Structure 1
């Protein structure tokens, strides 16, 4: 999917309209946005974003917490577990953040240089949510992105076991789940799984960056009512607009939208698929580079933002 977006960036006049907008007839919010300050972003989104950036680093540098500046920005973190192969099975890691007294789960996003990673995005048909993992959702008509669910399923059991062990070993009462791009989409499913599995006294938060749509209206409603997701969209990044709503996909609430390239101006976007934010972007102004960033405080994503061999 995101490989196609790169192609569209080269040929927007020919290909972009039928993919990103025509026939986009899903319901959307038109509520007015509200101001969201840089201080708000730094206090609520920066730390999850820094962990999401590290998920693009090499497995070895994450295990030893020697990934250069991204790791140095998060001292007092203890690596607990990782999984995936940075290919068909994108990397995830679990860590204990002593400063925040939380267990953190971060998912790697799409590797644009790895065709196996891109294939996870390309399987964008809607399929039934696996209700054996979420029995409370049976009969609710929830459908999710086929590729995202397959990616989630490949590591869900081991990841959940690692989180539960981390909570027991550290005494933490908070779990932070985060990711960028494909990683953000998988993070919504991981957050839902963890929330239903832990004691209600444990706080579970899910924060995504450059989040594509991950399911149908029923999935968006489930995330709003049972999980709670906050995600940041950056200017004219096309990824939050795919898959398009006319194919049955819908965003949950919780969008924070970056309005310009100063890294200082943001708005909170009430409701689902708010037309005043990423959903309302013009097809003539698609900017694929906005997907990687920077978002704010020079926070960018991708392997170039966390080079291998860093120490």
Structure 2
């Protein structure tokens, strides 16, 4: 039985078939935050945590399960926590193509897209993260992006390997269910791919389809123009950061990477009760929250 609060998020984000290794600063580059916003973070209520963040976290966790166990939703505890889910497609090889799936969630009448995060034991997954170069965003998949939008080369390559399947499956799933809501989620590398998917789907699907994206441990995906694009396309976009997790600080600001708006930060977790406290951080790179993290 999982807690009804964000107490569940920490074990969910760390629970995978393997133990995930924490990234470290690379090549001696300073991973510091930016200073676009100086407003004070505000507390997030437990009801918001339960209603808006817990279910996406449960879906993000199931993306770590082998696709062979997702097609019939038989991956054990992660799947059992989300009864009634119907999977339209599941794939990936836990390497160059991380596990992913598209499913329907009857409880919320939503089509769910979820992507696996990085497996540090897998060479191809590591390569996806090591590439720090920015490239122009794919104009075919993101026709409204503009010529100045640039994104992480490896993240875009990874997203591109499943983009056509994701889009066509979501389109057919919406048609067959009659749903008008889509949730895109993932953790770590999966969060980066999910943010690209969310932007792609928003541009490709009819305007009456609501695209929501809640991701966890999101690394920086693109430049200032990318961060601005996410904010304008996806006003409800939320990326959850956990205390001193270094993943949201890579790739570094020194290479012109910027986080979008929508950070929800886990400030503390009571190890005895599991109760978590969170705050909403204004702006794209919140200076006040960054300072708090630096001095903890």
- Shift of the alpha carbon at 1:83? 2.4
Q: Say if 2:137 is the partner of 1:129.
A: yes
In the TM superposition, 1:216-255 aligns within 5 A as 216-228=223-235, 229-255=237-263
Residues 257 and 278 in structure 1, CA contact (< 8 A), matched pair in contact too: no
> Are 1:88 and 2:88 an aligned pair?
no
After superposing the two structures, state which structure 1 stretch, 126-135 or 251-260, moved more. Answer: 126-135
Q: What stretches of structure 2 of length at least 5 have no aligned partner?
A: 1-20
CA distance in 2, matches of 1:31, 1:219: 22
Counterpart contact for 1:273–1:279, Cα < 8 Å:
no
For residue 31 of structure 2, what is the aligned residue in structure 1? 20
**Residue of structure 2 equivalent to 1:182:** 189
Once the two structures are TM-superposed, the CA of residue 261 in structure 1 deviates from its matched residue by: 2.2
Secondary structure of 1:137's aligned partner: coil
Larger CA deviation: 58-67 vs 45-54: 58-67
Paired residues of 1:76 and 1:97 also in contact (CA < 8 A): yes
Say which SS state the counterpart of residue 288 (structure 2) adopts.
Answer: coil
SS of corresponding position for 1:276: helix
3-state SS of the aligned residue for 1:204?
strand
Alignment correspondent of 1:200 = 207
Partner residue, 2:59: 51
- Structure 1 residue aligned with 2:18: none
Residue-by-residue CA offset, 1:133-191 (whole Å, 9 max, x unaligned): 2222233x111000000001111001111000100111111000000000001111100
Please report the RMSD computed on the Cα atoms of aligned residues, expressed in angstroms. 1.9
Following superposition of structure 1 onto structure 2, how do residues 40-79 of structure 1 map, counting pairs within 5 Å? 40-79=48-87
Aligned positions, number = 271
TM-score w.r.t. length of structure 2: 0.87
Match among 166, 170, 182 for residue 173 of structure 2: 166
Post-superposition shift, 1:192? 0.8
C-alpha deviation, 1:74, in angstroms: 0.5
Distance 2:23 2:178 in 1: 48
| Conservation of the 8 A alpha-carbon contact between 1:240 and 1:279 | no
Aligned to 1:260: 268
- What is the CA distance between 1:70 and its match in structure 2? 1.0
Q: Deviations over 1:30-53 (max 9, x none)?
A: 101111022211100111110010
Q: Which runs of 4+ in 1 moved over 4 A?
A: none
Q: Distance in 1 between matches of 2:244 and 2:173?
A: 38
TM-score (norm 1): 0.83
Give the deviation of 1:199 after TM superposition: 1.2
